[in-house]
Structure 1
Amino acid sequence: MINNFRLKLKEQKYMNPLLAEQLNTPFSTIPFDQIKNEHFLPAVKEGIALAKAEYKAISTSTEAPTFENTILAMDKSGVILDRVTSTLFNLNSAETNDEIQKICKDASPLLSEFRTDILFDKGLFNKVKAVYEQRSSLNLSAEQLTLLEKNYRSYKRNGAELPEEKQARIKEISKRLSELSLTFGEHVLAETNKFELVLENEADLDGIPESIREMASMTAQQKGKEGKWVFTLDYPSYVPFMTYASNKALREEMFKAFSSRAFKGDELDNKDIIKELVSLRNEHAQILGYETYAHYVLEERMAGSPDKVFEFLGELRDYGLPAGKEDVKQVTDFAKQLDGTESLARWDYAFYQEKLKKEKFAIDDDLLRPYFKLENVVEGVFTVSEKLFGLSFKENKDIPVYHEEVTAYEVYENGKLKAIFYADFFPREGKRGGAWMTSYQSQYNYSEEENGVPHVSIVCNFTKPTTTKPSLLTFNEVTTLFHEFGHALHGMLANTVYKSLSGTSVYWDFVELPSQIFENWAYEKECLDLFAKHYETGELIPEDYVQKIKDSMTFQEGYQTARQLSFGLLDMDYHSLKDGVVEDVAVFEQGSMNSTLLLPSVDGSNMSCAFSHIFQGGYASGYYSYKWAEVLDADAFELFKQNGIFDKATAESFKENILSKGGSEHPMTLYKRFRGAEPDPKALLRRAGLLK
């Protein structure tokens, strides 16, 4: 059956580039230049059919189940389907349009049905179970045992032993959840794109740096509004406006537009979607025998349980909230002293916070931007990865890309191809907000003849170049680039046998360790001297600027900690509901956030309706992991500081024990192998200046 299907694919490969068994591109990269939208849905259907045939061959085999003919065979299955879906859904995040969004909506239920069919296949489960029950006598490596246990748990956790009527309900729920998540993201993107603040009077630009004005002028030109300035809700436009614009009324307008996205009671409203998502996730978990959705998710996290997460967030709140209140008092007192402002609204905070920071540390983004030309920062992260891990990067313009702004690189380690890396840095209408790392192909190494390097991408929304200036990053954008590149390193340095354990295929509260630890280098003079040079004069960033960056590292850390905790607690509150019922999204959110509230709430604003991390992405019951991983990264970086930030032995140990291992062993086992002990929770508090 498989051979017949492969013949069918060979006949179609000339018509549909996504279905070719061997891609005729450099390093078998995705043939973006050949793909048309009409290729996707047929490719999804064909990919599902081929994967089903591969799984059926495993399920119906008359051979006694072994690790090789069952677990390994499953890991090798679905190659074409993986290619098709990674391409489609990555484009839906980075370069989408109405047609791609509709294709994703049509494809999602098919994929959901396929996944549940595989997970409810009794023949497959029985074979996996048979191998699992023999595990103690099979002489498996640690990685093989992890893969076996992961497969067995996946079947158990997805209802393989449920009666048929409950399996049918799980299928319905899974299909609906995939549809809802897609719609949620589409609404947020549409709301972000449709708002424009059009300014005609130059006086309204008071306080805004020249580089941001020029960017707004260029945006206006692109939108056919010559001689005006346009600000949008994309982060490189919204954040500087809220930080620098002196016009309070315009800041209020921008804030209310941003904070009310998908919360207006119209066709793009997400309130009912949130209610249904929370309810269905809870029902799904309870059908499987879990108390709540959070219990279900956290069973496969380092934290282990909702109680542990609430305890962790509560302890941080005990330190962060008093410091946050003091931070707000400092800014409030400063605003009153500066211009008589008696109380701060939310649209005032960033504005006065930035002015206070400049007064305390004589530093701001406008002072630092000239030293952070994007191309130099990119070379900087390449150089740091070379010094730490021996990597080198070579641009390859022959590798097809999905947009002209994307750059593709070959990545080498000791002269051997290690990965393909894509970089996509600027906002555009077809790209969702934020920054993320993703993958088009996982690393695997089944044998000398059967292996593949990872194809990794980072997608960001940074300050765009203008007609007179290159892209000059804020320091926050610099740390964001280091963060996402840390994720990319986790993918690029992967060195496991099995693709489903490779790279970032780790526990969710461990996945942020490589990204967050890499941010630390951006604060070190020894690192900044490698790339932070004035874009016009070539002058290295002055030593006193670097010291000011370090001195300001903990500025308003209490406020920022409380803010992050509010998001983590909101996520946990939604997904710890025992009945799964949210009667009113606004009331629920307010009740959750009261314990971390530092500024008065604003009518018409709602964070949940644009909380894409938990309602579109994979962070449901997992947003706490940013803070959890901060403990890991603060503790781990203390070892680098102790031995030297470019110490080869420490870097090699981090690469070998963390970055290369993916999910091949339990994350605490890997961490202790690197650090010699479990992480010290106080390391984060020390770094944040919250431990008195």
Structure 2
Amino acid sequence: MANASVNRALVDWSGHEGLPRFDLVKDEDFAPAFEVALASHEAEIDAIANNPEAPSFENTVVALEIAGDELSRVSSLFWGKAGAHTNETIQALEREIAPKMSRHYSKIGTNAALFGRIDALWEKRAELGLTLEQERVLERHWKGFVKSGAKLEKPEQDRLSSIGEKLAGLSAQFGQNVLGDEKEWSLKLTDEAELEGLPDFLRDAMAAAARDRGEADGYMVTLSRSIIEPFLTFSARRDLREQAFKAWVARGENGGARDNVAIVRETLALRAEKAKLLGYENFAALKLDNTMAKTADNVNDLLHKVWDKARSKALEEEASLGKLVAEEGKNHPVMPWDWRYYAEKLRERTFSFSESELKPYLQLEKVIEACFDVAKRLFGVTLAELKGIAAYHPDVRVFELRDESGALKALFLGDYFARSSKRSGAWMSSFQSQHKLPLKNGAKGELPIIYNVCNFAKPAEGKPALLSLDDARTLFHEFGHALHGMLSDVTYPSVSGTGVSRDFVELPSQLYEHWLTVPEILEKYAVHYETGKPMPKELLDKVLAARTFNAGFATVEFTASALVDMAFHTRAPSDDPMAVQAEVLSELKMPASLVMRHATPHFQHVFSGEGYAAGYYSYMWSEVLDADAFSAFEEVGNPFDPVMARKLKNNVYSVGGSIDPEVTYKAFRGKLPDPTAMLKKKGLAMVAELSGGDA
């Protein structure tokens, strides 16, 4: 990339320990850098494909593993910003570059000479003396080429490439439309009567949101989950709850230029065509190949087993909430904008505590400390913050992770607060993944540079950020993903960290959530933000006793979304995807008091990228694994048992995709789980009610 038009800061990362110099990068730098990096990568690919030497693992697979380093660097910085701190310049380039990148990788995937070399190695793999990790890497490349159309005739390859380009553009537009709806809608409250029931922490967050949107006074309800959910939980104004809820669930479905229904229709048709071209019955079959679940039938069996129990539980919960409505002298049914409000009242009555009572004990800073302490106790690593280092936004914090010997093992960035330039939700990603290969720039291997993005409400100036219990779980969840990236200890980049099957990738994150509610962690870190006193034991006991409260609601919300996702990708494409959604929910007898956690027009997991398409179920699949995995610690009576922790690190957190997930899970646990522990954890069944069977 020796090109005068390219800002070298995009590819020569000269910051602390190889961190990018975000402060030296401008939005306008990305477009010319992409052009040069794409051309450079193409030249590298041509050199590998046309190498006159006979194909070997080293000159073909290893060469592919390290090719495109500069493109990877430009891409990671760009897509990081597109998700967490976007603007019109970035969004315009995103719409342009997404299909261009798809075209670039389609061309690589259908390079006949290159596939010929990979295919030759695959055919004689048993004779190559490969390590287990090398076998996995070769298999990943070979299957990747096949799924890119390498075995198709030229017309089919061209059509597949065209489909990929179109899907990439639709995906970018889908996510931008949802963000646009979230940014545009707000509800300003100024009168005390409109604030009835809202606790101080929420008023503070809403006041900060109003200032952030340029309002000199008042309070703002926004569609950021960290504001909308507590508003629905505490607002005594049913009319305002209904107004806010309907805006929240209508994201992506408001008509006009940002309506996502047409995007969904076209996306599903193109995905089905892509699957057929590649010889699969449907898109779900294509996506589930090479996962733990393997087939849509296996996925649906698990989802329906849980659905029946969850729906029954939710109907019991709804009846209890209805009694509270009647007690207030009202006769309206429990509607979706009522559920959180009355559930909070029921929790307070049943367990004698409310979310507002709990929140002062869950300071963001203390929950971060708890996350780090658990990592130290389990895996012997320490994290220390580095002050004064510029990241991609002033709110982003930078940390070093070191092992027991003091050796630097990773850099970690935490981006915790909601803002209008950030898409909703929470996620982990990387600027750089761990590996041990020598690079063309002379480096041997790379340090993982991992980041977490959350959307917690930013507090008013001088006040601490206070989290809900769900927020705290989210922070633990995403840090579990981060540890999966930071503890990685593999040779090859393609199997590093979270480079595992989709229905295994959530295991390290969901498992890590369990340690949030380990009593000794809560006792140490759940301290009142004003007094510094620990959470009273009486309140702590109530929190632990209430862990399965409202489980029917939460599980129905999730499982409905997962079943709709599977229906979209197993059934023939429909001209009316919203009718398919309605049909599935009708078949399930979805209670009118509940909605899908992610309605189709804002289901970003599934339509803003293909990562969780026909794969949203994977959270539950991994939950079967994580509940069983934590049981291993419970069985030995110590949540920080050093023997179990070492097995967990060596067989789950550090091996990435270098070993088959079933093999590595059995190496940790000795067996594959059935859903028993997961259903018990959710409070949805007693052990005696359950039948066995592998997950």
**Match of 2:649?**
655
Deviation at 1:213, TM superposition (A): 1.1
**Which of 326, 346, 349 is the matching residue for 1:336?**
326
Q: 1:451 to 1:604 in 2, by over 3 A?
A: closer
Q: Secondary structure at the match of 1:421?
A: strand
Deviation at 1:104, TM superposition (A): 1.1
Distance (Å, rounded) in 2 between the aligned partners of 1:172 and 1:89: 22
Q: 1:130 to 1:398 in 2, by over 3 A?
A: farther
- Structure 1 contact 405–426 (Cα < 8 Å) conserved: yes
Structure 1 residue ranges without an equivalent (≥5): 1-5
Q: Does 1:533 align with 2:523?
A: no
- Structure 2 contact 557–595 (Cα < 8 Å) conserved: no
Write out per-residue CA displacement over residues 28-58 of structure 1, whole angstroms, 9 at most, x where no aligned residue. 2122101111110111111111111111111
Q: Secondary structure at the match of 1:460?
A: strand
Deviation at 1:122, TM superposition (A): 0.6
Q: 1:523 to 1:605 in 2, by over 3 A?
A: closer
Distance (Å, rounded) in 2 between the aligned partners of 1:501 and 1:207: 50
More displaced 10-residue stretch of structure 1: 327-336 or 241-250: 327-336
Distance (Å, rounded) in 2 between the aligned partners of 1:400 and 1:197: 34
**Match of 1:503?**
497
Distance (Å, rounded) in 1 between the aligned partners of 2:118 and 2:508: 32
- Structure 2 contact 5–32 (Cα < 8 Å) conserved: no
Q: Secondary structure at the match of 1:446?
A: strand
- Structure 2 contact 561–598 (Cα < 8 Å) conserved: no
- Structure 2 contact 433–497 (Cα < 8 Å) conserved: yes
**Match of 2:623?**
630
Write out per-residue CA displacement over residues 135-176 of structure 1, whole angstroms, 9 at most, x where no aligned residue. 111111110000011111111122101010000001110000
Q: Secondary structure at the match of 2:188?
A: strand
Q: Does 1:680 align with 2:677?
A: no
Quote the RMSD (CA, aligned, Å).
Answer: 1.8
Deviation at 1:604, TM superposition (A): 14
Aligned 1:132-147 pairs, distance under 5 A: 132-147=122-137
**Match of 1:396?**
386
**Match of 1:42?**
32
Q: Secondary structure at the match of 2:524?
A: coil
Q: Does 1:422 align with 2:416?
A: no
**Match of 2:448?**
454
Write out per-residue CA displacement over residues 567-598 of structure 1, whole angstroms, 9 at most, x where no aligned residue. 00010011112x32x22232221111224444
**Which of 451, 458, 461 is the matching residue for 1:464?**
458
Aligned 1:446-595 pairs, distance under 5 A: 446=437, 450-467=444-461, 469-577=463-571, 579-580=572-573, 582-595=574-587
Q: Secondary structure at the match of 2:428?
A: strand
More displaced 10-residue stretch of structure 1: 158-167 or 46-55: 46-55
Distance (Å, rounded) in 2 between the aligned partners of 1:311 and 1:652: 33
Write out per-residue CA displacement over residues 313-366 of structure 1, whole angstroms, 9 at most, x where no aligned residue. 111123222122212222122322244334112111111011001110112221
Q: Secondary structure at the match of 2:456?
A: coil
Aligned 1:232-247 pairs, distance under 5 A: 232-247=222-237
Write out per-residue CA displacement over residues 611-659 of structure 1, whole angstroms, 9 at most, x where no aligned residue. 1110004110000011111100000000111221011111111000000
Q: Secondary structure at the match of 2:233?
A: helix
**Match of 1:432?**
423
Distance (Å, rounded) in 2 between the aligned partners of 1:595 and 1:216: 39
Write out per-residue CA displacement over residues 494-550 of structure 1, whole angstroms, 9 at most, x where no aligned residue. 000001100000000000000101111111111212311111111111122221111
Write out per-residue CA displacement over residues 61-90 of structure 1, whole angstroms, 9 at most, x where no aligned residue. 111111111111111111110111111111
**Which of 289, 309, 313 is the matching residue for 2:303?**
313
- Structure 1 contact 657–673 (Cα < 8 Å) conserved: yes
Q: Secondary structure at the match of 2:387?
A: coil
What amino acid maps onto 2:219 in structure 1? Answer: W
Distance (Å, rounded) in 2 between the aligned partners of 1:544 and 1:48: 60
**Match of 2:287?**
297
More displaced 10-residue stretch of structure 1: 277-286 or 438-447: 438-447
- Structure 1 contact 372–472 (Cα < 8 Å) conserved: yes
Distance (Å, rounded) in 2 between the aligned partners of 1:605 and 1:681: 22
Deviation at 1:310, TM superposition (A): 1.1
Q: Does 1:375 align with 2:375?
A: no
**Match of 1:3?**
none
Q: Does 1:67 align with 2:57?
A: yes
**Match of 1:411?**
401
**Which of 623, 627, 640 is the matching residue for 2:633?**
640
Q: Secondary structure at the match of 2:149?
A: coil
**Match of 2:608?**
616
Deviation at 1:123, TM superposition (A): 0.7
Distance (Å, rounded) in 1 between the aligned partners of 2:72 and 2:213: 37
Q: Does 1:92 align with 2:92?
A: no
Aligned 1:250-265 pairs, distance under 5 A: 250-265=240-255
Q: Secondary structure at the match of 2:662?
A: helix
Q: Secondary structure at the match of 1:267?
A: helix
**Which of 75, 81, 93 is the matching residue for 2:71?**
81
**Match of 1:182?**
172
Distance (Å, rounded) in 2 between the aligned partners of 1:526 and 1:476: 19
- Structure 2 contact 66–437 (Cα < 8 Å) conserved: no
Structure 2 residue ranges without an equivalent (≥5): 687-695
Deviation at 1:444, TM superposition (A): 0.3
**Match of 2:690?**
none
Distance (Å, rounded) in 2 between the aligned partners of 1:146 and 1:224: 53
Distance (Å, rounded) in 1 between the aligned partners of 2:595 and 2:379: 50
Q: Secondary structure at the match of 1:43?
A: helix
**Match of 1:361?**
351
Write out per-residue CA displacement over residues 477-507 of structure 1, whole angstroms, 9 at most, x where no aligned residue. 1111000000001001000000110000000
Distance (Å, rounded) in 1 between the aligned partners of 2:127 and 2:276: 34
More displaced 10-residue stretch of structure 1: 505-514 or 548-557: 548-557
- Structure 1 contact 525–543 (Cα < 8 Å) conserved: no
Name the count of aligned residue pairs. 680
Q: 1:484 to 1:339 in 2, by over 3 A?
A: farther
Distance (Å, rounded) in 1 between the aligned partners of 2:335 and 2:540: 32
**Match of 2:218?**
228
Identity %: 37
Write out per-residue CA displacement over residues 441-463 of structure 1, whole angstroms, 9 at most, x where no aligned residue. 01001269611111000000112
Q: Secondary structure at the match of 2:257?
A: coil
What amino acid maps onto 2:532 in structure 1? Answer: G
What amino acid maps onto 2:421 in structure 1? Answer: G
TM-score, normalised via structure 2 length: 0.95
Distance (Å, rounded) in 1 between the aligned partners of 2:596 and 2:72: 41
What amino acid maps onto 2:246 in structure 1? Answer: K
- Structure 1 contact 29–399 (Cα < 8 Å) conserved: no
Q: 1:228 to 1:171 in 2, by over 3 A?
A: same
Deviation at 1:108, TM superposition (A): 1.3
Q: 1:200 to 1:602 in 2, by over 3 A?
A: same
Write out per-residue CA displacement over residues 458-483 of structure 1, whole angstroms, 9 at most, x where no aligned residue. 00011221135210111111111000
**Match of 1:207?**
197
Distance (Å, rounded) in 2 between the aligned partners of 1:140 and 1:671: 22
What amino acid maps onto 2:665 in structure 1? Answer: Y
Deviation at 1:227, TM superposition (A): 3.3
Write out per-residue CA displacement over residues 196-230 of structure 1, whole angstroms, 9 at most, x where no aligned residue. 10112111100010121122223223334333211
More displaced 10-residue stretch of structure 1: 638-647 or 167-176: 638-647
TM-score, normalised via structure 1 length: 0.96
- Structure 2 contact 556–596 (Cα < 8 Å) conserved: no
